Structure 1
Amino acid sequence: MGAVGIDDRGLFRFAVRVETGPGDGSGFLGSGFVAAPGLILTCAHVVASAGERRLRIVSELPQVNAATAHVIARIPEGPGPDGLWDRPDLALIELRDDRGRRIGGHPCPRLDLTAAPPPGPARRRAIIAARPNPGNTRSVPRLRGVDFTWESLDDQGFWWLADGHALQGMSGSMLIDPERRAICGVVNNSRGLGAPTGALATPLSELAALGVRLDAVTGFNGASEWDAAFDRRPDSIWRDHWNPGLSGRHFVGREQELADLLAAVEAADGVAVIQSIGGFGGVGKTALAVAFANRFGDRFDGRVFHDFESYRGPVADTGADALGSVLTGIGAATPNEVELLDARARSDRWHAAAADRRLLMVWDNVDDSAQLDGLLVRGSGCVTIVTTRDRLDIADAGDLRLDVLDEGEAIAMFTGLAGGGHPPALVAELVRRDLCVPVLIATHAREIAGGDAALDEIIADLPEPDPSRRQSDPHNQRDLFDRLEGSYRRLDPSERRAFRAFGAHPGALATLGSLAAAMDCDLREAERRMHGLVNAGLAVRDLTRTSRERALRCYRAHDLLRVYGAHVAGAEGDLEAFRLALAQHYLDRLGTGFEEHPDWFEAEVETIEHLSTGGATVEYAHLARFLGYRALRYCAYDAAETGFTQAERIDRARGDQGRTGHSLWGLGEVARLRGELEPAAARYRAALECSEAAGDPGGVGNARRGLAEVVQLRGDAELAERHYTAAMEAYREGGYAHRMIYVERGLGRVAILRGEHRLAAERFMSALAASESEGDSYGIAFALLGIGDAALAAGDEDEAASRFEESKALFDTGGDPVGAANAVQGLGKAALAAGDTALARTRFEEAERVYLEHDAARSLTELKADLVRLEAAELSL
């Protein structure tokens, strides 16, 4: 068996923030956690800091959040001169209702009141509250997980913890033993005054010092909620997320800057270092960061790189966008899992994955410090490099501003790319006219290497630096564009068109198929034209993205070159035409034969996102909505949300109520599939209002069905049936017979919820007959799954197993391994109900392997609950 993993979000319900004031985070004092019904455990110094002010407990549990807080026991002594307490730093808070009675009726965690220190180093997880930006008292504290390693026991019996990052506000937080699946201690302060890492914890065996009976805090009644957060799985293996493209491959010079970066790291003596590298576009910021990582990467446990694309596309990446790719890249989440995580949950997962690791992180092309919210890791020995054209406000960050290369470095860069043997005087003149700017030198050196231009020809097309300013100012983008004009003019007319299309293309990588569509030519002609751009130094074929499909071959270029291409396209009047041609191309592909080309969608989804957010006409709304529909099909919820949000914005501005309703329904689907039921319900209700106003029965049916699914998940069978019935009537009015089958299956689930097993079977049988009449094998397979679930709920394990076998056979025939695994999971549930735990485990593990292979996150979540029931059954034998 592997190590126990912890889903932090599952434990957040048991953690609290201790505050004073209005509850907006301004009076944040520290952390705490539910210890028993109506009791909160925290640190004595946390409650002491409140003085005479009224305490407030902030929790995800409604009962806890609404209660009033009263300190009923605490250790009175304070810390010694070293900042550490010589007695247990503990306090107990009682929660009372408006009549002064201790509250109850809420889940509680599992406590280990006899916790002893482990015999050797062991991982312990703390669930803490902390501000995202510790230096900003206006930032609202949030919960996160931090891993520590038990190190030693002091003479007071307190536990010393190492390798975790101490944060202001973490005092009072729960310390968890993953193997025992229980809280074993209270984290109560950092290791000495101002220490950057590590913490001190008090084991729960010290609770007697509070003068309360230990049986007062043994009210564990949250098995299902608490235990579901623990999952035994193999330890994750870190994978570097390192894909800086071409940056750093031809790095020269900058030795002093590299030395300055290394000196900052060494002077920190293990304290986390955050370094900003600033300068204008094309000066070599990314190349310097990547060169540092390449030269000194062996000093770190792992490396991470992400380009925020802030200076080219219409919309820059957010921190959540960055973590969407980083978490999958490092192996901390599957693609489907990460799509189900909101921004906060992604940050929590990221910090958990980064804990105990000495990491080097490069956040590239950041133009706003808000993009870094939730990303900055301040663990021991970690280094973060942020590249930006602007000066960012980042707490405790160093700032290095880059200037152009000196002449010797510029000449070395040219020679490294173009080769030797060129007249030294001409090389010196070229780099002078290129202002010693790396991106210009690289472009012209590659043009020389391509053989389509001579050195003196390029120099003749380069303007003299402007003497009126004593030297040309590379901060002025016009100066850089002037020095690319000759390279553009030397292209033939078809290649110039390709360069303009390349500039108009909004993706970081442009596929050959999309470029051909923008230019209205075939793939071979598009490839010939792009080859001309490569020879001219204006594009590079990205060989890291390989595909057997010619249409999916990719090209990239420095942001400055792409922006120049867009500038030329704008000047020549075909920028919008290129983008509209791209939009039509993507609409055609999204609307036909889509299921046969999942690789195409994966390669193009980022470009479609950028393109759909770059306009406000009906064409862009259609593209955004289609993006949403197809992204839902592949569980790409970030992309779906981007598409539906953009479509809803445009449709609402145009006064199109019907299409606005469809976009709102799509946003409801995204929220529901992520498990955010209240936002989902709000979006479905808004969709219903728009669809009713537009007289759109299909939209009404969709919204009603969405509302039904939400309340069904909440266990309200009556309301779910009313919504499903209304959806059925709307679909019948609009003639949407196929969608009525979805409703029939939903009504079957409602009947199971009510315990009406015979009715459930009838409804699934009705859905089965309808799908059979349509020849819909997938519908048949899902109906059989429902019939099996109904039989299982009725206690007929044999009938359930038979139906699950039939369903599995259909999914196997249709080539749907995840659907087949759903049926195998059903077979496992049937075996467990029959008391055959060995067969149940075999079935569940078989399903789990498929879910993991195919990133089926939602199915894995449901399987976890089955595994918890199985383990309980095994323990009872």
Structure 2
Amino acid sequence: MDADGRCRGGGERWGARVDDVTGGAGAGAGGAGAGGAGTRPGADGDGGGLRDGLTVHLLGPVRALLDGRDVALGPPLQRAVFTVLAVRRDQVVDRGELIDAVWGEALPGNPEGAVHTYVAGLRRALEPVRVRRSPGRFVQSHPSGYRLVLPDAAATDLARFERLADEGRAAVRAGRPDAAERLFGEALALFHGSVLGGVPGPFAQVRRDWLAGARQSLAEDRAEVLLRQGRYREAADEARLLADGEPLRERPWALLMTALYRDGRQAEALAAYERARAASAELLGLDPGPLLGGLRQRIVVADPALLPDGGAEAAAAGAGRPGRWVDLPRDAGHFTGRAAEVARVAAAVGRGVCAIDGMAGVGKTTLAVHVAQRLAERCPDARLYVDLHGHTPGRPPVTAAAALERLLLAVGVPGERIPAAEEDRAALWRARLAGQRALLVLDNAVDTGQVRPLLPGSVSCLVLVTSRRRLTGLDASVSLSLGVLPLEEAQALFAAVAGPERVAAEPAAAEAVVRACGLLPLAVQIAAARLRHRPAWTVAHLRDRLAVEERRLDELAAEDRSVEAAFALSYRALDAAERRMFRLLGVFPGAVVGLDAAAALCGLDVVAADRLLQGLVDCQLLDEPHPGRYRLHDLLRAYAARECGRTDGDADRRAALGRLVGFYLATVDGAEQLLRPQRLDRADAAPPGAGVAFADRAAALAWLDAERAVFAPLIGAAARDGRDRQAWQLARCLWGFFEARGHWTDWIACHELALPSARLLGDRLAQARLLVGLGVAEHHLRHYESAVGRYRAALALMREAGFRNGEAGVLTNLGNTLRRMGRTAEAIDCQEQSLATCQAVADQAGESIALANLGDLYRDAGRLRQSLDVQEQALAMFRKWGERRWEGSVLDGLARTHLAAGGAEQALVHGREALECRCAGGDRAGEAETLDLLARIRLERGEPGTAREDWRRALAVAEELDMPLAGDIRRRLRELPPGG
């Protein structure tokens, strides 16, 4: 029996018609202006002649003109603030949004102060005669931020561009191509030079990219208008320029091929396809999609429907047939695994709606598109895809009304027949698809409210909805929360993208890479793509780059895709309280956090913490594997920690860690009091309610079992943060748990982490107690020489500190280990010294332990009568105190002594009593030892069958606890006679 130091027991995609291969200006194929034509307010004309008031130019170098004169907008960052306010004209922009938009990650020391300074500078430039503290004419303050007030909705060229684009598309739908061409031309003419020129910051970059796409899409619309007017050469010239500028966009190639074919240049049309194919192969390693492939085949066979008259006839013949409309993205060429998920989604055919949710980057869209392509033949009437932009950089979510307009156009409803009201559009949409076998992919939904108006009324239509949120309000027949890939499928995906030969050459490194990616498909794809495009890299080199946790997110980025950016979109959709909770979870050192610990971390009551945690679960930023227990994906934890470092000061982070360590120390100390009530030392007193209180020993052990994985990381975090006293006390208070459960390696890990803290404090007793704990754990692992070294070092510290009780405890433990080493005489001497010391200081608990241990040693020395006498004394003392676990240990010793004396019957009685006590006390390691003893007693009594049963029970427990005893039991089972 061991003692402690005190002598203790130790872009939008919309419906593109198959028979109208160029897409259709009316469909808006990714163009600017998502709203319906004529809905944007504004003055007549393009507004270019306005000279009174403030006008703003954004579609080139950023300029502001006040009454026709240029305004000096100041330094670049001040221009960036102005640009955000101008793009969001007449809207209040939150200060936090301004900070994110202008600086992104590269925050200045005082970003709020910098915003205030730049706003003041803009006010001086725009309103030089403004009286201090008076309401601004142009730049107005609000409690949460600022707003730029413009005299007219057309006071920015961006607003004029959007209005002209909308009017042009309305003209297309109304059959007025000449007007559409003029309006598109006026809109495109507004661009001059570098868009948002001279403006730094992430907001400006995102808007540049969006405006480049909007400009390209509108130019494609104009080329299509030329094509519809029969001006094939002009259409071909414009389409060729667009295709050369954006070789991966298929629509300009389709326009070029169609224009050339209609102009009688079939060979040139086919040559254009080959150019498109070469560009796609070079840049993507893929062939063009079905839009261009199908168009090429139709050109080869001279399909009459491609000619203007044939196209009209085909359109007339297809009126009212939604099946002539197909717009599904290309299936991923490297789609891997997900067999069970594919089967579940496919099972939704004929049942209505399938909702697929999951964290950013988990492959929701890929799965939905893959299944949609597989189900194409079962949904012959229409197959449509809509990106609702719930989480798209620089894009607001698509309104239900706008999405309905696109869908109605896609199934052939003329623009003039589309109602203005959302509910009327929804009713027409349901009527249009009634009885049809159609498939609709609603991708990237923000919430149920955005999706519900788009649902067909017939279950013959299959709707696949993807979202980062759990759409709990959606009446879905099939709901699927998509998790990360299994290891084998993640490895297969990595090999498919990176190249199977390179991966096969370094399989161990490849496995390490996908594990570093957290098995997240987006991360695996990005890592594989980087490897594919860097022939000098080995898989091991990539593994080593990803091994540095602080830079892992930086490594998982390629061109316009990054894991961090995907996470950021989900994070920014949270409210302020949820953001804070998410960030502080990055401080938590373990993988799974309990509700009470999360509440302590954030300084909240449990009810408030539960509400925030459930919100994070709904947003797929947190998983709840068991009720009240939450897990962050490894990469999300890294992102949360990074955001905490950016947003929260070091004082806030340390305060959160302090609350967490205090919670765990108070709770573990309370649990230890139930497990080892006779211990002398306790942790520092905690405020009332600082930890979880337990009703009994079983409840304490259950909580400790659930939290086991966090103890070592938490002690390490406390030590690194300079919380040395809490670090060593936390390790010390886990003695009873580790001993009861036999978690010897955990015990060693925690004590090794805490020992430097005790040394930094110069606390001899703290060091000695931790050394004793290390000795106990190493003793149980049969590392006897190491245990002896720990005990002797602890004994010296105890004597220096003058702590007699601790000295006695170390002597007890040292004696136990010397006994296991066969050094019986030295062991007896240690135990007798311990007994005398405990009697001198009136330590009855230590005395009882020394007596019990002397009983074992006297038995080893053949002094059986003395062994029985001292053990009976110890048993009486333990029963007096109600110490069932120690009672079980002494009963086990008595059974061994009786067995040695030839009294198998009495040994069996004591052995059964010992097993009962050890099971009742939760002493799993002791349970295995006593079952091993009972088996040997049964064998002595001539009961080999019962012995075999006891050994098998003992082996199950020993293997569960990874005890060295397991090897001994296996040998005994092998030596048991056959049939015994």
What TM-score do the two structures reach when normalised by structure 1?
0.46
Compare the two structures and name the one with the higher helix fraction: 2
Larger Rg over CA atoms = 2
What TM-score do the two structures reach when normalised by structure 2?
0.42
